[in-house]
A and B are shown apart, each in its own frame.
Chain A
Amino acid sequence: MRIVATYNIKGGVGKTSAAVNLAALAAQDGLRTLLWDLDPQGAASFLFRVKPKIKGGGAKLVRMRSDVTDLVRGTDVEGLDLLPADFSYRHMDLALDAAGKPTRRLRKVIAPLAEYYDLALLDCPPSISLVSESVFDAADALLVPLIPSTLTVRTFAQLGDFVAGEVDRRPQIVAFFSMVDGRKRLHREVVAALPAASPDDVVQTSIPAATEVELMGVERAPVVVSAPHSRAARAYRSLWDEVRPRLGV
């Protein structure tokens, strides 16, 4: 099972949108796929109409007192299952801190699911915390959505430095531009410049700022399912086709 986390220190950059759409595309391609909604806001769980609640809460899960296989829920997309969010995940840092070897804990928690899935996508909460460090340790790759701005690019560089310097198991980092507004000159310039400057880290495909993506909250389904021929869905398909070989799935 390959583990890929959608991560950015900032919120509202398209992590959850990327996670749910890429997870749906992976399942449509025949990969046995698990999406773990680690964000206490539970947006991914909401989009799949699954109650953002797990028996025993996050602390019990982190202490491995819950059978993680009992917590998985099927989604409306065949081949895609969800490990739901729980509001108690807001205290996951504390739970990890109380457990032994906190940065390695999430890898252990998810390990019993490895035999059932080809791909696990972790939808992470925005922050840099013990949870993020544990995610970095668990993940084979970080998929990083970037909004095209100078500050975002700087933050991306900081993430690269942090992973290179502080994380033992260094996950591969693959970034893509998200919420791109082609009418803005800055967006156009940054989107053109960064992939050319860092072709190993930043892929060519970018996800447009699109109404259909915003409507996912109304449709409560990934855009690749609810509007598969839309511009945004086609962009996610291109993104998946481009990152899949890089992620090794």
Chain B
Amino acid sequence: MPLDVPTASYALPDGVDPPELLAYLGKRFPVVAEPGASRSYTVLDTADRRLRAAGVDLDLETGRGGPRLVLREPGGRPPLVADARRPRRNRYLLRDLPAGPLRERLAPIVETRALLPLASVEVGAQLVRVLNADDKTVARVSLATPAALVGGGDGGTVPLTPRVDVSGVLGYPKPLGQVTAAVRRGPKGGLIDAPISLADEAIAAVGGDPEGIRTKVHVNLSPDQRTDRAAVAVLCDLAGMVEANLPGTLADLDTEFLHDLRVAVRRSRSVLRELKGAFPPEPLATQRDALRWVQAVTGPTRDLDVQLLDWDHLVSAIPVERHAALAPVRTLLVRHRAAAFRALRRELRGPTYRQAWDAYRAFLAGDLGPSGERPDAKRPIIDVAGRRIRKVYRRMLAMGAVIDATSPAGDLHELRKRGKELRYLLELFGGLWPRRVVKPMVRSLKELQDVLGVHQDREVQASYLRGLAGELAKSTGGPAALLALGVLVDRLDAEQREARDAFAERFDAFAAAGQQALVAKVFS
């Protein structure tokens, strides 16, 4: 960014206090110390820390004129600021924010995720301006003594590392270099770069995980690791993701908690199925049934989430004059979603889920029994996973080869389900093989799955909307809504046909001779 100014953050070491550093700077530069100020704010980010990954800080401040959001990016540019209402249900969705540059900046990063309060911070700061011969400010040094507020302040405070932030002034690079060098040398042996950001430190201080909820499995596997141990390690990591997403799902903070919970469950089921030879048959069947039940009780809500998330996209393609007529359809979808969610919450808060999950955790933590009835248990994971990748890939080739324009939608759905199996195997165990082999395979698989996903989603959506006809006919504005619904279903059918038309090309890429040879060679 051409208008960026460098900034640097340092940790004030033990034994050095802010007045000492201030005196140190005062001996070397003409400085003006502004009156001390304190600031309280709440760190906002999505549960999976998307803003952090994008290098963006978003704070909720309470100042003159009520709460406001302040978005800062690296480069020392002035922050983006927007007035905000108090968050509803302790979260902000994009639609809760006022239109303007701040929301526009957040939109592509946050998407459908909620912005959540992750930590409250109180900072006492002393700002020092460094001047040039004209008494013009040419650098700023901020000496901050922050503290994290536990339980929003009710549980006291946790002192955080005092920090020194140095920022330049646009157009004055030379003095900034001199000030930075002096701060680095600092009193008593010098200052060190701040090891982690203030936001991360505050989140950790109040018991949160600065990394946020992960969607990728972090397990170090070695090729010759026993398959049962590798499988359990991966399953434990996935179970952690289910547990991390459960509170947000039950609080209905945003749609992605449920989505990520379901993905973690689906991946777990996939591991249990594909590596079943590593587990004793009986407890395995029970655990697979339990996870299938979780998928079943969460499925209707997710299907309706997809309907509502796609709503604007679908409606945008039909004539504007019919939009108003579709309002009863959306109202019905929202009502159905609310009912489905109530059922989901009842189940996931109930004894069936609790007992099933406790049993599943005990299964993962316990002794899997003698390996005699578990033929793959002791075999190296690279052999077992490689064999499964090869087999699922070959099975997909056979299934895809017989799909043509007349094949029923169910055939494409079955192929998609196999594709998910293969994708999870590659995502969870692909690190055991060279990246140059796995990456192109994942890419061609993903492109195929995208088409199959659209095909199946549109099938489910059209079927669901058709099923609304009876209920819709009885509602106010029903006849007009039914006509508009027909247009919407036509649109879904058209997108499904487009997906089917694109299938052959995507499948050919996935089934290319070169890729087949590579799979046979690498995963043998």
* Residues of chain A whose beta carbon lies under 8 Å from any beta carbon of chain B: 27, 29-33, 48-50, 67, 69-70, 72-76, 78-79, 81, 113, 116, 118, 220
B491 proximal to A (CB < 8 A):
no
B93 interface residue (CB < 8 Å to A):
no
Tell me if B170 is interfacial: C-beta within 8 Å of chain A: yes
For this complex, 24 residue pairs linking A to B, each with C-beta atoms less than 8 Å apart, are: A27-B78, A30-B78, A30-B79, A31-B81, A48-B136, A49-B136, A50-B171, A67-B2, A69-B2, A72-B3, A73-B171, A73-B172, A74-B168, A74-B169, A74-B170, A75-B137, A76-B136, A76-B137, A79-B78, A79-B79, A81-B3, A116-B1, A116-B3, A220-B135
Which B residues lie at the A interface, using CB under 8 A? 1-3, 5, 68, 70, 77-81, 101, 129, 134-137, 140, 168-172
Query: Known interface pairs A76-B136, A76-B137, A78-B78. Does A118 touch B101 (Cβ–Cβ under 8 Å)?
Result: yes
Count, A-B residue pairs, CB within 8 A: 52
Task: List, in ascending order, chain A residues with CB within 8 A of B1's CB.
Answer: 116
Query: Do residues B129 and A32 form an inter-chain contact, with CB atoms below 8 A?
Result: no
Structural contact, B101 and A30, CB atoms closer than 8 A:
no
CB–CB A81/B170 < 8 A = yes
Contact: B68 with A30, CB < 8 Å?
Answer: yes
A69 with B78, Cβ < 8 A, contacts A30-B68, A74-B169, A220-B135 known: no
A residues near B134, Cβ cutoff 8 Å: 49
Give Cα A73–Cα B175 distance, bound, in whole angstroms. 14
B139 and chain A: residue at smallest CB distance: A74
Partner of B70, one of A30, A49, A116: A30
Which B residues touch A70, using CB under 8 A?
2
Contact at B170–A73, with CB atoms within 8 Å?
A: yes
| Chain B residues with CB under 8 A of A76 | 129, 136-137
Please measure, in the bound complex, the distance between the C-alpha atom of A76 and the C-alpha atom of B171, giving whole angstroms: 12
Closest to A50 in B: B136
**In the bound complex, CA of A32 to CA of B82 (Å):** 12
B482 to chain A, nearest CB (A): 43
**Chain A contacts of B172 at CB under 8 A?**
73-74
Whether B81 pairs with A30 at a CB distance below 8 angstroms is yes
Min CB distance, A181 to chain B, in Å?
A: 32
B78-A32 in contact (CB<8A): yes
- State how many angstroms separate the Cβ of B104 from the closest Cβ of chain A: 11
Q: Which residue of B lies closest to A77 (CB)?
A: B137
Which one of A30, A48, A49 has the greatest number of beta carbons of chain B within 10 Å? A30
Q: Which residues of B contact A113 (CB under 8 A)?
A: 3
B70 contacts which chain A residues (CB < 8 A)?
30
Chain B minimum-CB-distance residue to A73: B171
Least CB distance, B128 to chain A, in whole angstroms: 13
Q: Which residues of B contact A78 (CB under 8 A)?
A: 78, 140
- Whether the pair A72, B81 counts as a contact (CB closer than 8 A) is no
Residues in A whose Cβ lies below 8 Å from that of B168:
74
The 4 closest A-B pairs by CB, nearest first: A30-B81, A74-B169, A74-B170, A49-B136
